[in-house]
Structure 1
Amino acid sequence: MSYEDNYDQTARWDAESVREAEVRTQHHATRSSAERQKLKRKGKRRRFALWLAFVLIVSAILAGVGWLLADDMCSFNKDPVETTIEITRDDNLSTIANKLHEDGLVRYKWFFKLFGKVRHAESRIGIGTYAVNSDMDYDALINRMSNKNASLTANTVKISIPEGYNVRQIIALMDKYGVNTAEKLTDAALNADFNYSFIDNNKKGDLTRLEGYLFPDTYEFFVDEDPAHALSRLLDNFNTKMSDEIMQKVESSGYSLNQILTIASLIEKETDGTDRENIASVIYNRLNNVGETYHKLQIDASLIYGLGENYTGMLTSSDLNYNTPYNLSMYEGLPPTPIANPGLASIQAALDPAQTNYYFYALGKDKVHHFFKTYAEHASFVSSSQYAG
């Protein structure tokens, strides 16, 4: 073989080797690229599966939480609870949620507060005492606690003062609704100057100087109103209600205005709402005649007033022997002051009593008073099954 032939053969071998190497390299590169694509697709599928699992798990958790929240909001599956909740001027949505939670009416305080903010609950919920139960959903609870006359965010409050409340009870009610504090209202009642002919400013320091004159009605007060001014609203109303006609009847009755109010207050505390004139007749009959009662009115409501904070809710034998001028089984005649603030109907009854021969009455199981002329008739009723006890 010539040199030229050997060279050509070597050159061909080298070219073929290069081509084979290029083919191998290209094939390896192609295979590597395919494998990378395959691995990439596999990685994507794995990430998608993990993401899907995460989404499903989170969705399941959110669905579970959502059901728990919906269950609480809509009041599903709650243990039966019936209670009362008291809302005061110091409360807000957070403290109200706490009270509802403590009473077993809401499980998730934060969610009730969130719901309440959306539903503007603080401008709807008002001061007062409300009967609530676990059948009420969030919205029903808010509606039940609504009071447009005394909402938590209002600058004024509207208060209905019941007939028969005494001065301390009225002050407590005004304190509850934010008119002012009981301490400041009491101080005003004791020591403020009131420019009315029927208020004795020489009796400063004695709360009873206002008793009988704080007229029970519905009033609108400012929150944190001046305490003397707030009490004057009630005195102004009393002054207006005492018309010329009423004052003429007082003058012709033979009793002072204070005594008429004292009689009216006794009527107010005793009446079932339908028998004011008959109760008035018993009082006058006992005052004006010796009879079987020796001028003693024997009205327990007066003794309870005289006991004050010592009264525990049931009169004991010790209470009945308590020495106070308000003990009308011990002392003859009227108590020294009214024992409550009577409404107009009781004042009218004190001025226009029924004309009867009744000296006794007792409450029956039918929830009305039964009237008697003699002690024997009264005792017979009290020992019967009709007596309410």
Structure 2
Amino acid sequence: MALGGAAYWWLHQPMPMAGAGTQALELAIEPGTTPRGVARDVVAAGVQTDARLLYAWFRVSGQDRDIKAGNYEIPPGTTPLGLLRKLVRGEEALRALTLVEGWNWRQVRRALAKEEQLKPDSAPLTDEALMALLGRPGVAPEGRFFPDTYTFAKGSSDVALLRRALHAMDRRLEAAWAQRAADTPLKSADEALTLASIVEKETGRASDRGQIAGVFANRLRSGMLLQTDPTVIYGLGEKFDGNLRRRDLQTDTPWNTYTRAGLPPTPIAMPGKASLLAAVRPEPTRALYFVAKGDGTSHFSPSLEEHNRAVNRYQRGQ
């Protein structure tokens, strides 16, 4: 009876921790680690208890073989009972990384490289090799990952996170394409993704997104050049210094929509859900032009004459 009471007390007693127990301890359990090895790892992480006693608890509980590999945090106040519950449930320490709407692929790569809690498996890979690893050989990575906040276990692979973001974009794009307007000038879901990326970069205020998409749809139908600055900037790549000059508009690249007709060969950024839907179901409009008004909104015009007046008013102050 006394032994049983002592065991009950020990199971419910917070375990002392190194460093006065003011911060959570980090515990990494590698795949294939035995229950005895897990008990030793717990003590090595800074939990001040007897590894033999901890192992005995794992065995007596009948759950010793249910302990899951992973990366865990053991906060102050953790009891042997709570520890085993965490390890059996696989309640790993989670971190989060946000991929922002409108980011391009270079920005995604930089964000992955800066996230110290992710294993940088993608770092040595070329874009081509990475996309092949993700099951998309020959597909450019630009725009293919859905912008969202992704949680991940500390120490997990950045390739696994990218795979989740890739599949999330697949689902969002498929759902948007299924809702496309009957008169859309777009020929495929890939074209919708590319147009959505342009809409994402051109939209200063959410309320204008549908009309901006409508302008580009009108231009595609009529065979007009899209003439959208973000595609030119994208084509300039690292050479863009923040100033878009007339000569840049005249410098031909595959993404320069001032020199080439139709959509560019790839998206130019990661579009969010709203831009995907706007691209496939734009607002009906007669407008063929728009210009930024300086307050985040745009002025839309059906004719070049009206557009020029709007440019003079909002861009040149005339």
Q: The TM-score by the shorter chain falls in which range?
A: 0.5 to 0.7
Q: Unmatched 5+ residue regions in structure 2?
A: 1-18, 26-74, 76-91
Question: What is the CA-CA distance between 1:270 and the residue it aligns to?
Answer: 0.4
Alignment of 1:1-389 (within 5 A): 156-180=94-118, 184-185=122-123, 187=125, 189-192=127-130, 193-194=132-133, 199=136, 201-203=137-139, 209-242=140-173, 245-249=175-179, 253=184, 254-272=186-204, 273-290=206-223, 295-384=224-313, 386-387=314-315
Query: Residue 169 and residue 228 in structure 1: after superposition, are their counterparts in 2 closer, same or farther (change >3 A)?
Result: same
1:360 to 1:225, Cα distance in 2 relative to 1, 3 A: same
- Structure 1 residues without counterparts, runs of 5 or longer: 1-116, 124-152, 204-208
Cα separation, 2, equivalents of 1:182 and 1:306: 27
Calculate the aligned-residue CA RMSD, in Å: 3.1
Which amino acid is 2:210 matched to?
Answer: E
Residues 322-346 of structure 1: CA deviation (Å, up to 9, x unaligned):
2201111111111111101100100
Alpha-carbon distance between aligned partners in 2 of 1:320 and 1:283, rounded to the nearest angstrom: 18
In the superposition, the TM-score normalised over structure 2's length comes to 0.64
> Structure 1 182/382 Cα, relative in aligned 2: closer, same or farther at 3 Å?
farther
Q: Distance in 1 between matches of 2:173 and 2:231?
A: 24
Q: How many angstroms apart in 2 are the aligned matches of 1:307 and 1:336?
A: 14
Give the percent of matched residue pairs that are identical in Structure 1 and Structure 2.
Answer: 32
> Cα–Cα, structure 1 residues 186 and 350, in superposed 2: closer, same or farther, change >3 Å?
farther
Higher helix proportion (structure 1 or 2): 1
Deviation of 1:219 after TM superposition, in Å, equals 0.5
Contact 2:286–2:302, Cα closer than 8 Å, also in 1: yes
> What amino acid maps onto 1:265 in structure 2?
S
Residues 1:228 and 1:268: Cα distance change in structure 2 (over 3 Å): same
CA contact (8 A) 2:177 2:192 kept: no
C-alpha spacing 1:338/1:326, structure 2 compared with 1 (3 Å):
same
Aligned pair in 2 of structure 1 residues 364, 246: CA closer, same or farther (>3 Å)? closer
Displacement after TM superposition at 1:121 (Å): 9.2
> Is the CA contact (8 Å cut-off) linking 1:159 and 1:219 kept in structure 2?
yes
Higher relative contact order by CA 8 Å / sep ≥ 6: 1 or 2? 2
Conservation of the 8 A alpha-carbon contact between 1:188 and 1:228:
no
**Could you say if the C-alpha distance between residues 332 and 232 of structure 1 is closer, same or farther in structure 2, counting changes exceeding 3 Å?**
same
> Retained in 2: the 8 A contact 1:260–1:351?
yes
Which amino acid is the alignment partner of residue 166 of structure 2? L
Change (3 A) 1:122 1:370: farther
C-alpha spacing 1:327/1:257, structure 2 compared with 1 (3 Å): same
Displacement of 1:161 = 1.6
Instruction: Give, in angstroms, the shift of residue 218 of structure 1.
Output: 0.7
262-271 or 357-366: bigger deviation: 357-366
